[in-house]
Structure formats: C-alpha cells, structure tokens
Amino acid sequence: MRWWDIAPVLELEHELFPEDAWSAGMFWSELAHARGPQATRRYVVAEAPGTGRLVGYAGLAAAGDLADVQTIAAARDQWGTGLGARLLTELLRAATAFECAEVLLEVRVDNARAQKLYERFGFEPIGFRRGYYQPGNVDALVMRLTMTPENTDNPESSESSESNG
C-alpha cells in the first residue's frame, strides 16, 4: 500500500467497517512506519486483474517478537474467493521477515467469517476484550498464532495435516 492507495482503501473501509472506519490520518500514520530499515509495519493491497480496481488490503505491525494484524479486508463481491486467505498469507510472510514468534489479532465475536479464516491458518482463541468495539459495545475475541517452520513456509499447509479437524 502506498499513499495513493489511501483514497480507494478508505472507500472500502467505510463500506466494510461502517461503525468504526479508520481515518485517512490513521492510514498515513501506519504507512509512515512501513518504509526504510526501521520499518515496523507491512501494508499490502490487492488489485483485480485487468481493471486494476483495489479489492482488498491488509496490514501488520511488529513490536519485538510480537506481531499484530492491524486490519484485513476484501471487497464484498470478492468474499469466498480466497482473497482473504491470500492477504493473510502475505501478512504472515511479513511476520516471518520481522522475525516474530507470535501473531495476535482481535476480531468481533459476531464475525464468524473472519474467525473461520483465522482458524484455518492455525490461530487459536486466547481470550476476550470486553466492549472493545465502540460504538455498539461489541466484545473482541483475541486470537494467537505461534509461528512454526510449517506455517511460516506455507500457512495453509496446516489445513491438511490437522488430525482433529
């Protein structure tokens, strides 16, 4: 993601997170930490082949050996196409490059689709943050992925190797 992506990203942001959309300033601030040798952020966008329309974006923040999924979103007409999985794969690659041992994220307790995606990559629920999403007072489920050589090389490989489903 570069600064010229912020306008189309904000369009999607308002559509997908109507209650608590990030401002342009928040994206600018994140991108300021995404470049150079001291970078602590990795932000990516997905463009539709042919049209170049921006259809997804995601960002990760690293602090020491902990990484946080800051945001991940796919345009509604792309849901279920695996775009979310591709964006998450890119963030986990970045977590590996930042040499993070664990990746954390918060997800609304009522967001089953996102939770399913995270579980497929090996994220496990570790707790709740009560009233994390305002307005609405919706709880966040906190999920954690411990980085291993397996999910680092190919995050989706855990899908076939899991014995307990």
Ligand X SMILES: CC(C)(COP(=O)(O)OP(=O)(O)OC[C@H]1O[C@@H](n2cnc3c(N)ncnc32)[C@H](O)[C@@H]1OP(=O)(O)O)[C@@H](O)C(=O)NCCC(=O)NCCS
Which of 29, 81, 148, 157 lies at the binding interface for ligand X (CB under 6 A)? 81
Task: Please identify, using beta-carbon distances, which residue of 32 and 112 lies nearer to ligand X.
Answer: 112
# of chain residues touching ligand X (CB under 6 A): 20
Task: Please identify, using beta-carbon distances, which residue of 99 and 105 lies nearer to ligand X.
Answer: 105
Which of 21, 24, 97, 112 lies at the binding interface for ligand X (CB under 6 A)? 112
Query: Which residues, numbered 15-74, are part of the site for ligand X (CB under 6 A)?
Result: 16, 72-74
Instruction: Tell which residue, 58, 65, 62, has the closest CA to residue 27.
Output: 58
Which of 30, 42, 59, 84 lies at the binding interface for ligand X (CB under 6 A)? 84
User: Which amino acid appears at position 60 of this protein?
Assistant: L
Alpha-carbon distance 103 to 61, whole Å? Answer: 9
Active site residues: 106, 118
Interface residue list for ligand X (CB under 6 A): 16, 72-74, 78-85, 107, 111-114, 116-117, 120
